[in-house]
């Protein structure tokens, strides 16, 4: 069983957002495998760089999607993303200064944050999109 498994309740848009989340989950698993196998600083550092770069890209993409559909909780959602990026960056800096245990902490932080954030916060986007489809259908029928 993977360290972080994709599950049906993580589905948000059956599109680009899900693809991003799946890729992030793969990267978290890659990080976990590398740290548990005791891979060196260079290997782990490389995964961390890809992970943090992809996280930035994903958060930006997700916020763009939210803005384009008029998602009403965008500001609060952005604040959540901002706080997460700050935590991620401070752990990444700690890792760069030499601690391998920090990398293990990072895979746990990423897994917990992602699974909770997707299930609670990104989920609001799914509910919003489903609501929009319902009201468009309702209008078309009336």
CA dist 117 and 95 (Å) reads: 24
Torsion of CA 44, 48, 49, 54, to 10 degrees: 140
Between 40 and 70, name the residue whose CB sits nearer to Fe ion: 70
Between 30 and 122, name the residue whose CB sits nearer to Fe ion: 122
Between 64 and 99, name the residue whose CB sits nearer to Fe ion: 64
CB of 62 to Fe ion, least distance (A): 5
CB of 23 to Fe ion, least distance (A): 11
And the tokens for 72? 């009403």
For 48, the 3-state DSSP assignment is helix
CB of 20 to Fe ion, least distance (A): 7
Number of residues that bind Fe ion (CB under 5 A): 2
Alpha-carbon distance values, 117 to 42, 110, 113, 121, 123 (Å): 29, 10, 6, 5, 8
And the tokens for 35? 């740290």
Applying CB under 5 A, the span of 35-43, 56-64, 103-111, 131-139 interacting with Fe ion comes to 56-64
Applying CB under 5 A, the span of 48-56, 91-99, 115-123, 127-135 interacting with Fe ion comes to 115-123
And the tokens for 95? 């890792």
For 30, the 3-state DSSP assignment is helix
Between 41 and 60, name the residue whose CB sits nearer to Fe ion: 60
- Cβ(128)–Cβ(17) below 8 Å: no
CB of 66 to Fe ion, least distance (A): 8
Considering only residues 122, 136, 138, 141, which one is a binding residue for Fe ion as defined by CB under 5 A? Answer: 122
List of residues contacting Fe ion (CB under 5 A): 62, 122
């Amino acid at each position: 069983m993977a360290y972080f498994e994709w599950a049906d309740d993580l589905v948000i848009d059956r599109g680009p957002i899900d693809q991003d989340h799946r890729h992030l989950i793969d990267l978290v698993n890659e990080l976990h495998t590398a740290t548990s196998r005791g891979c060196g600083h260079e290997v782990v550092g490389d995964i961390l760089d890809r992970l943090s770069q992809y996280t930035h890209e994903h958060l930006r993409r997700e916020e763009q999607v939210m803005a384009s559909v008029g998602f009403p909780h965008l500001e609060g959602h952005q604040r959540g993303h901002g706080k997460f990026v700050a935590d991620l960056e401070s752990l990444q800096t700690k890792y760069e200064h030499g601690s391998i245990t920090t990398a293990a902490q990072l895979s746990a932080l990423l897994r917990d944050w992602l699974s909770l954030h997707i299930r609670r916060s990104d989920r609001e986007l799914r509910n919003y999109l489903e609501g929009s489809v319902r009201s468009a259908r309702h209008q078309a029928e009336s």
